[in-house]
Structure 1
Amino acid sequence: MADVQAGTVKRGPLSRIVDRLGSGAVQVLMILIGLFWLVPTLGLLVVSMRDETANNAEGWWTIFTKPAELTLSNYASLLATGFSASFWNTVMITVPTTILVIGIAAMAAYAFAWMDFKGRDPLFLVVVGLLIVPIQIALIPIATLYGQAGIFGTIPGVVLFHVAFGLPFAIFLLRNFFVGIPASLLEAARMDGASEWKIFSTVVFPLGKPAIASLGIFQFLWVWNDLLIALVFADASNQPMTKALQSQMRQFGTNVDIIAPGAFLSLIIPLVLFFAFQRYFVQGMMAGSVK
């Protein structure tokens, strides 16, 4: 209390270390950590561009002394297996799912945060309770329902499943962010005659960009990297990349020259997406986790 009254704030050991090292040294350290984190990605890229004989004989790091071993023939062989169709299947599953989850969850979160209706709080508790429901218990009932509806093994069926199980977390995250928006902004918009949809689209949604971008990254990664739902609900003609790679592993065993380029292609898109929206990521996660 004496430190606070005297106008000083007690600093932690991490802050004192940063002061002693200097901001430049800390930045260099963070860059080195980032580069170290990217080493597995670099190794996967190198392995995907070497033939099977070279990969079996030596480690990927020897490429720095033998750059002539790099080739794109592995990617040509991968595309010859029909992997490009699996890539577009993944896109057609992931992009609509992410858009639908963000759109539906944002509107529901606004309703839970700023609209008064009967049963709002109990209904929100039900949504929160759905967060603990494991996906596995719904596989057989929904597979039966899909068979009766005629959408089993189709891309819309996979999208609907991901949307249904992605909404609880999405609503919870966005609602916790939206309630932090100053009520005076919404009241001023209502006094100007704005409808609820106008307030949502012009005030709440733009202010929620950090949380929405964070949610978009999470949802995209979950669906892009999903294997369980693809194995159950996608047939051979609609399989995404994860199922295609799994089938290659079962069919060819240790055929790294096929699996490595496929794994790198499935990795590079989420990596680019994360780096593109990383400035929103921490801000959105912190905002959605403290309410």
Structure 2
Amino acid sequence: MSGHLTAERRPVTPAPPADAGRSRRTGRLGRLLSSSAVQALLIVVALVWITPLAGLFLSSLRDESDNASDGWWTAFTDPSQLSLDNYTALFQDSGITTAFWNTVLIAVPTTVLVVGIAALAGYAFAWLEFPGRDAVFLVVVGLLVVPVQIGLLPVAKLFGAVGLFGTVAGVVLFHVAYGLPFAVFLLRNYFAEIPREMLEAARMDGGSEWRIFSRLVLPLGRPAIASLAIFQFLWVWNDMLVALLFADSGSQPLTVALQSQMRQFGSNIGVLAPGAFLSLIVPLVVFFAFQRHFVQGVMAGSVK
């Protein structure tokens, strides 16, 4: 018998690849969502959510006298109540149409600027080396805890001094400034998950930083960018607090224009109902247009 012990050799089981664990988690999530109980619950939630929307839509198609006399559900038994007269009158109201286009002019540029600047900054904080990078990023993260209400009066004084108060550009700049910290934080964390080897291979092939960003990082980050664009657009489109302070009568968005009609709700239901539905349907169209990318972004975050 030898004087030393020989270690017993055991077969080494290879570790499962990362994609296998991710596939198992995705499969469990899919089985959970496909169960009958979950599907029944989702149907109930969808019905509860869509009922006010259906009521608003039917009310927007009914005459003011019909809305004052009985509920919107009576339209199911008497479809003759429904007509497009309220929408015809709405689009002939110059104040409402101007407010609608002001909302478009505020929401679209704000979303484009926030997503574009945040994508560039997120790539820089994730993959570029420069002095003070971590300190600057900590400052950006710290700005997330600053409430919007704190900056309203100081920024209003500043905009008044430079001639931006009461303009569409002033509302856009305010939303861009307060939307960037979260946007940069979100995209930086998403871009940091891109494999370093992929970027190094692109640099070895002679790709410039701009080419790597535009041809590699942006396509890979499309789910996160689409999710950010949806949330930013919805936030700005539905905002009323900032617009109440920074917009005047000529630059006010649709939310402020509809709020001014609330003082005479009984006599203005023919304007409020179609106006509110118009204000609601545009974000829904935007959401469903980018739904596929939004779901990809949520699922990517859930299985990492």
- Structure 1: 5+ residue stretches without partners: 1-6
Offset at 1:53? 1.5
Mapping for residues 17-96 of structure 1, pairs under 5 Å: 30-31=42-43, 33-82=45-94, 83-96=96-109
CA shift in 2, pair 1:112/1:193, >3 Å: same
Deviations 1:167-208 (A, max 9, x none): 000001111110111111100110011111111000001100
Q: Which amino acid aligns with 1:37?
A: W
Q: CA RMSD in A?
A: 2.6
Supply the distance in 2 between the matched residues of 1:246 and 1:25 (Cα, whole angstroms): 41
Give me the whole-angstrom Cα distance separating, in 2, the residues matched to 1:253 and 1:38: 23
CA shift, 1:29, in A, is: 6.0
1:23 and 1:137 mapped to 2: Cα distance?
47
Structure-2 change in CA distance of 1:285 and 1:133 (3 Å) = farther
Paired residue for 1:167, among 143, 166, 180?
A: 180
1:210 counterpart letter in structure 2: P
Q: Equivalent residues in 2 for 1:41-190 (5 A)?
A: 41-82=53-94, 83-190=96-203
Query: Is 1:199 equivalent to 2:215 in the alignment?
Result: no
Deviations 1:17-75 (A, max 9, x none): x68x9757865764554344222111110011111211122111111110000121212
In 1, Cα distance between equivalents of 2:37 and 2:155:
54
Residue 233 (structure 2) aligned to one of 209, 217, 220: 220
Amino acid at match of 2:76: F
Structure 2: runs of 5 or more not aligned:
1-15
Identify if the C-alpha distance between structure 1 residues 277 and 161 changes in structure 2 by more than 3 Å, giving closer, same or farther: same
C-alpha separation between the residues in 1 aligned to 2:57 and 2:120? 41
TM-score normalised by the chain length of structure 2: 0.84
Cα drift, residue 76 of structure 1: 2.4
Question: Secondary structure, in 3 states, of the residue corresponding to 1:238?
Answer: coil
